[in-house]
Structure 1
Amino acid sequence: MKNKKSVSKKYKTFKGLMLVSLGVIVLGFTQFSYCQVIEGKDYSSRSDVDHTFDMAGEDIFGQRFPSENFTYPDKVTGINVNALTTSRHNSSKMYQTHPQWTADGKYIIFSSNRTAQEGKGRQYYAVSMENYEIVQITTGDSGRNFHLGWNSGKAYFMRDNNIVELDLDRLLKDSEKDAVNEPENYEKILAKIPDSIGPSGIGLDAKETRVFYSAKIDERTSAIYSTEFKSGKTEKLKEVPFRIGHLQANPYVSGEVMYCWETGGDSPQRMWYLTVKDNGDVNNRPVFEESDTDWVTHEVFMGPDHILFNVMGHLDRLQKNKTGIFSLNLRTNKLQYHGQADGGGYWHVNASKDGKWIAGDTFDGRLYRINALDSTDVKLLTQGHRLLSKSPFTSEAHMHQSVSPDGKWVLFNSSYFTDNDIMLMPFRPDNTK
């Protein structure tokens, strides 16, 4: 991987070169775009403002961008929404199956193409919950299968089948001090996955001692593997006759993985659950066994023993059975219904860590908070984030909402301002306990 210089080093080098260049250039050539003194006025104090929206377009590890957040009151609810990104680039939160906040709650992690070359490639960034400044935290070909630590200040990703640990906490602290070193100073290779395996998706075990992932065997077969960090051992856990998607590890219970039969739409049996016991025994089973008219989607964990998911109701043929948001107890198989929205129904789901409150969105970009114990207690938080959409099959942003670990915030994608921005708002603006 090509090393990237820190922002401070790059800026100092750049500044020095420019001073030399300006000494050579004829003094009357005042329209040179990087001049600090133009027509007798010194603009050097504003030398970084051009990074606000167009950005430098350079892939620089640890570089910082000024805040671009904009807060506005929702036109319908009056609740303040904070657009954390507002540039011309495509910025997206991570998928709702994975953690969004660093373990200390100080930063939100998202991906963006703001430093992509020729429109290709994305990197991961951290936005501060304090001042909303943005820091680039990956570089080069380092963004695949990115996963934050559940409880540590680490992050994990794959590069050339190596499982790499990123000391994200130290990187962010160094960035705050403008003292970022080379990428390899923050990285450690934990294990090597055999080259015969093409890993896809990554689920970090609750103990942060191994990762689970899927891989394609052939056109009709996939498998789930695990790789341990300490021993480097890779093991095939289960082979299934379908494509595996949206693999996620239980954040609370070690050795448990939920994944789906991925078709890009409806599947015969969406949700599956795999458990690995301490003695190595593997159990694999379907959860919420579906009827012919059930279309299940967007499953997430709702505490250590429950999962939350949506049964789509946007087509006439799907409305023979009850549709909407459900939760399921993984230990007892007890099913609980949490209601349905109008206009085609709910789409994505997420919940507070204590399982008391659910966040559900709709195809046209409305976001609701639902009382998990009372499906009639529903509050509209914000709307208008998919202005042109009445179905899931449009190009506007998928909200993919996530509730913060402390239950105070809800984070989501939006097409309110641009094609895709990330937005943050209070999950309990009425101080609901």
Structure 2
Amino acid sequence: MKKFIFSVALSSFLCSVNVNAQIGKRFPSELKVVKDPVTGTMLTFLTSKPMGDSKIYQTHNQWTSDGQWLIFRSNRVEGEAMAVNEKTGEMVQVTEGGYIGMLNVARNSMKLYFMRKVADNGVKQNKKENIRRFAPTSMEIVEVDLAKLLADSTTDKLKKADYYQRVCGTTNPEMGAGGDLALDGDENWAYFRVGKEYAAKYLPEGTKLEENFGPRKMGAGPAGIAAMNVHSGEIKYVISVPFQIGHIQTNPWIPGEIIFCWETGGKSPQRTWTVMSDGTGLRPLYRESEYEWVTHEAVISKDEVAIAIMGHRKIQGLDTTGTAVSGANPGQEAAWGPSGTREKPTGLGIVNLRTQEMKIAGQTDSGSGLWHVSGSPDGRWAVGDDFSRSVYLIDRHTNEMLLLTTGHKTTAADHPHPTMSPDGTKIQIQSAMLSDDDKSMNICIIPVPEDWLKRKY
């Protein structure tokens, strides 16, 4: 079983640069429709070769604004992002020059945003000690005009990369900016994490810094969030907090509303947080107790955030002989404390951002419980995966839960990370079901069953 932190590490993955890569290059369709051997669900694999594919994290949008393409990461061109047409399966390279961290697909325009290091900046050689030292590095936020690129890719008259890619602005190296990027709902600002030293400058005097929490020795602060205007390059500071920040995301329907987490690699003392872009309104999103293991929050509608309240550990972290459990599943180490057991309510929770009420939408009868979660903007559906890589759909009106697909291999390079489509008719996952090595993943679409879509309430 992979470590619980794997998905966090993946979201900060640094893509290398391939100087021979050509933006707009097309790749033939690999589309396959496969019947799930357990549930009978017809799965559409938009990619089917072992080329190191992975979807964007479920906190972020996956589909282009015209609904025709999905953006994903792949080694088809090392270090570059790809788009795949959902109907034809044709693929197009949509970046050139590499990227770092999170890909941001705009919902209201045919644009893509990402960060990358400024070329030839930040590496110094200490010859005397014969070691490499890394100085603070400036980061660029880059915009890709997908409309122009995808149109020109159908011809043999592609232009140079800078015709499609525009540098929005560059951060000061002192900021220690990272690749945890989130595009605001108004698509004017992009928020990003800054380093400890820079964040400390904006922390209120006397603030007590948090220490590392849990066996992975993560979570210590401070950390901060800054923003860049993608039109002018203007940079503004949002907020500093006394703990490590992870998974910055925005509310696509409410400009200026930011959701982020206290990242420890597992259970946090207080996982979920929200703040406005002017630094006001900082508060816990869902106030958790030491008995609750909250993780993988994702904004799903104008007023709602889905969270996983894990039920994956044995009571008190002990087995039937009274011995502390270790290694059976992610997070079983006793050092995480008493959280994550089914002594308390667990499952896929929906938190209302306005009233702060939380409802449990559903939970598996046994096993890990629901882990990575998403939902439809219209409030009809919630969806989650579990440690077995099974994916469950929940009807939020009736509380009925349906196993959509399983058999995606616990040996896979990562978890399914289900994301509901904007129209609520399908779910995107990443899957190793077709891989010969039981690890390499592909991009897969799961339909919401037709009889469920026809339901009237």
Q: TM-score, normalised by structure 2?
A: 0.76
Q: Which amino acid aligns with 2:422?
A: P
Does the aligned pair in 2 maintain the 1:57–1:114 contact within 8 Å?
Answer: no
Report the CA distance between 1:91 and its aligned residue: 0.2
Residue 173 of structure 1 aligns to a residue whose secondary structure is: helix
1:165 is aligned, of 128, 135, 143, to 143
Q: d(CA) in 2 for partners of 1:306 and 1:431?
A: 22
Report the equivalent of 2:259.
258
Number of residue equivalences: 363
Q: TM-score, normalised by structure 1?
A: 0.80
Report the CA distance between 1:192 and its aligned residue: 2.4
Give the aligned CA root-mean-square deviation in angstroms.
Answer: 1.9
Does the aligned pair in 2 maintain the 1:403–1:427 contact within 8 Å?
Answer: no
TM-superposition CA deviations, 1:2-25 (whole Å, max 9, x none): xxxxxxxxxxxxxxxxxxxxxxxx
Report the equivalent of 2:420.
403
Does the aligned pair in 1 maintain the 2:417–2:430 contact within 8 Å?
Answer: yes
Relative contact order, higher structure (CA 8 A, sep 6+): 2
Residue 196 of structure 1 aligns to a residue whose secondary structure is: helix
Q: Which amino acid aligns with 1:403?
A: M
Q: Which amino acid aligns with 2:351?
A: L
Report the equivalent of 2:171.
193
Give structure 1 regions of 4+ aligned residues with deviation exceeding 6 angstroms: none
Structure 1 residues 295, 223: CA separation in 2 closer, same or farther (over 3 Å shift)? same
Q: Which amino acid aligns with 1:154?
A: K
TM-superposition CA deviations, 1:271-318 (whole Å, max 9, x none): 000113xxx452211121111111111111121111111101110232
1:103-142 alignment runs, 5 A limit: 103-116=65-78, 122-142=79-99
Does the aligned pair in 1 maintain the 2:31–2:88 contact within 8 Å?
Answer: no
Report the CA distance between 1:432 and its aligned residue: 2.0
Q: Which amino acid aligns with 2:397?
A: L
Does the aligned pair in 1 maintain the 2:308–2:348 contact within 8 Å?
Answer: yes
Report the equivalent of 1:179.
157
Report the equivalent of 2:268.
267
Does the aligned pair in 1 maintain the 2:415–2:430 contact within 8 Å?
Answer: yes
Does the aligned pair in 2 maintain the 1:327–1:335 contact within 8 Å?
Answer: yes
1:345-356 alignment runs, 5 A limit: 345-356=369-380
Report the equivalent of 1:363.
387
TM-superposition CA deviations, 1:159-203 (whole Å, max 9, x none): 322222110111011112333211101122222222211222111
Q: d(CA) in 2 for partners of 1:398 and 1:63?
A: 29
TM-superposition CA deviations, 1:357-414 (whole Å, max 9, x none): 0111111121111011332x1111111012xx3xxxx654211111111112111011
1:416 is aligned, of 407, 426, 433, to 433
Does the aligned pair in 1 maintain the 2:101–2:181 contact within 8 Å?
Answer: no
Greater Rg over alpha carbons, structure: 1
Does the aligned pair in 2 maintain the 1:338–1:374 contact within 8 Å?
Answer: no
* 1:204 paired to 2:183: yes
Structure 1: gaps spanning 5 or more residues: 1-55, 117-121
Q: d(CA) in 1 for partners of 2:279 and 2:406?
A: 47
Q: d(CA) in 2 for partners of 1:371 and 1:145?
A: 30
Report the CA distance between 1:146 and its aligned residue: 2.1
Report the equivalent of 1:119.
none
Q: d(CA) in 2 for partners of 1:322 and 1:431?
A: 27
1:63 is aligned, of 7, 21, 25, to 25
Does the aligned pair in 2 maintain the 1:67–1:131 contact within 8 Å?
Answer: yes
Does the aligned pair in 1 maintain the 2:50–2:442 contact within 8 Å?
Answer: no
Report the equivalent of 2:345.
322
Structure 1 residues 432, 230: CA separation in 2 closer, same or farther (over 3 Å shift)? closer
Report the equivalent of 1:295.
293
Structure 2: gaps spanning 5 or more residues: 1-17, 119-138, 198-219, 317-340
Report the CA distance between 1:57 and its aligned residue: 12
TM-superposition CA deviations, 1:125-163 (whole Å, max 9, x none): 000112101111112223543211121011112232222
Q: d(CA) in 1 for partners of 2:362 and 2:425?
A: 22
Does the aligned pair in 1 maintain the 2:182–2:191 contact within 8 Å?
Answer: yes
Report the equivalent of 2:398.
374
Q: d(CA) in 2 for partners of 1:217 and 1:257?
A: 20
Q: d(CA) in 2 for partners of 1:80 and 1:236?
A: 47
Does the aligned pair in 2 maintain the 1:124–1:143 contact within 8 Å?
Answer: no
Q: Which amino acid aligns with 2:81?
A: Y
Q: d(CA) in 1 for partners of 2:108 and 2:167?
A: 20
* % identical equivalent positions: 37
